[in-house]
Amino acid sequence: MARATLMGRCSALTARYSVGKLGVEDYARCLLLVTAWREARGDGRDAMRAVAHVIKNRADVWGGGLIHQITSKNQFSSMTVLGDTQTVLWPDATDAVNLADVINRVADNFDPDPTGGALYYANLATENSKWFKEEIIAKPESHPITIVIGKQTFFK
């Protein structure tokens, strides 16, 4: 999805709980919210919170900011992989409002990281990426499991 389309969707999504024009920081937080929701909505609020922390951890460790980490190729399939059925899903206003406080706390560094600094996560029952299996799962000495929340397993 083109950035302009994402920006329009984020503007519409956040219209119910924000005031004024959508700026870059608001856009980053909206993408963080949508990504966390898409990636872990079936596992509940704690899993969505943990996914948000992984994205924030990547931005802090690898640089580039939240937008870069979320929209880089193949980082979050629900946001960037053509053909992923989740790329057309958007949280409704109630879900967005309920998750917005968590997202803001994560983005502002006011929320303790339940993942212990994880940079990766996956639902191991459905993971099909050869790279992820070979480079993350198969190398526990480099990428130890930090926690399991819902169906999501988090790795350093």
* Run means of pLDDT, 10 residues per run, the chain, 156 residues: 50 51 73 90 92 97 93 77 66 78 91 98 92 96 97 97
Show me where the domains of the chain are located.
Answer: 3-113
The angle subtended at Cα 34 by Cα 51 and Cα 42, nearest 5°, is 60
Q: What SS3 class is residue 80? A: helix
Ranges of beta strands (E only) in the chain are 120-123, 145-149, 152-155
> Of 19, 28, 20, which is closest to residue 10 (Cα–Cα)?
28
pLDDT score recorded for residue 121: 96
Q: pTM here?
A: 0.84
